[in-house]
Amino acid sequence: MQFDRDMAQVSDEQLREMAQHRGLKLLKSRRRKPGTGDFGKYGLTDMGGNALLGVSDNGLTASADEVQDYLRRSEQNTWKQSADTTPDRAANRRMRHPREPEDEDEPIRRRARRVSPARLARREQEGTAPARTKSSAKARPRPSLRLVPKAPPEPEPRREPTPEPVLRVRAATAEDADALAALLSQLGGVSLKSEDVAANLASARKAKAGMLVADRGEIVGCCGWAVVATIHRGAIGRLTVLVVAKGHRRQGVGSKMLEAAETALAKAGCGRIEAMSDILIDNSHNFFRALKFEQASYRFIRTISK
């Protein structure tokens, strides 16, 4: 039979296209060795993965002929359903006079009107389409629509990260009195007003002592030093105060100020430098030990009554 010969000639790719055309998915066994499992078997599912034909728990069970037969029967059912649900078209044919003879080309024109453009083009490729009339041959083709690609959006300007303020170590001035008063209040037992700090700065300047501040857009540290003249050791540089604000510690601020103070004391003729540190502040002791300071003596202090 012609039907059997057509089924035998259909390839896997044609079966797959037939299934896709009907909104189905073709499954084929992955077995490569004849005689094992479901070798050479097929199955059909819908696009949601629901089994329709030849799908079981043990593998695929349908042959190529069964799949093709199922697809052709589903196509016939689809055509029949479409024909049953299509309403009759209103009669819009041109009424002729009973005695008017029918044009011999009229049946051809009626058939041409019933054929869709896509089907007519396919029939022309197969050589079965009716010959075009002069009017249809001269008809201007419809211009094809050109899709203009949408321009890509312009990239947003890159936002550069805000640079961190540069740390500067400089000499303190009278304008720094408010910031120094707030900074020195972090020392235990110290409470100074801005005017007291300004007066002490002026006194230190007269005694040739120095006060350095660490400026990072704001005052984040201070370091005071003085030259002490001794008979037995000569000029000794003494650190009188060293404070770094909370939130800026362990960032190298104290080391920078100490380095600047040591440079100033060396220029003043000091060969030794000593630090005055409160015995209750453990972190400062570790700071000086890390910078090679040695604990060499005790410090004794007493208030002078006026």
Quick one: pLDDT at residue 133?
54
Give residue 81's region: left, alpha or beta (phi > 0; psi -120 to 50). alpha
Quick one: pLDDT at residue 237?
93
Quick one: pLDDT at residue 281?
58
Q: Please determine, for residue 185, whether its predicted confidence score (pLDDT) is greater than 60.
A: yes
How would you list the strands of the sheet with 42-46, edge to edge?
24-28, 42-46, 51-53
Q: What mean pLDDT comes out for the span 208-236?
A: 92
How do residues 57-81 score in pLDDT, each as one tens digit?
Answer: 888 888 888 888 888 887 766 656 5
Structure tokens at 286: 């570790």
How do residues 81-112 score in pLDDT, each as one tens digit?
Answer: 555 655 555 444 555 555 555 555 555 555 54
Residue with the bigger pLDDT between 14 and 119: it is 14
Whole-Å CA distances, 304 to 62, 87, 230, 301:
111, 119, 22, 10
Quick one: pLDDT at residue 28?
86
How would you list the strands of the sheet with 234-244, edge to edge?
168-171, 210-215, 219-230, 234-244, 272-275
Q: Please determine, for residue 178, whether its predicted confidence score (pLDDT) is greater than 90.
A: yes
Average pLDDT of the chain? 78
Confidence of residue 3 (pLDDT cuts 50, 70, 90): very low
Quick one: pLDDT at residue 74?
77
Quick one: pLDDT at residue 1?
39
Handedness of CA 50, 53, 57, 60 (dihedral sign): negative
Whole-Å CA distances, 167 to 127, 217, 277:
88, 8, 24
Residue with the bigger pLDDT between 19 and 84: it is 19
Q: What mean pLDDT comes out for the span 204-208?
A: 89
Q: Please determine, for residue 210, whether its predicted confidence score (pLDDT) is greater than 50.
A: yes
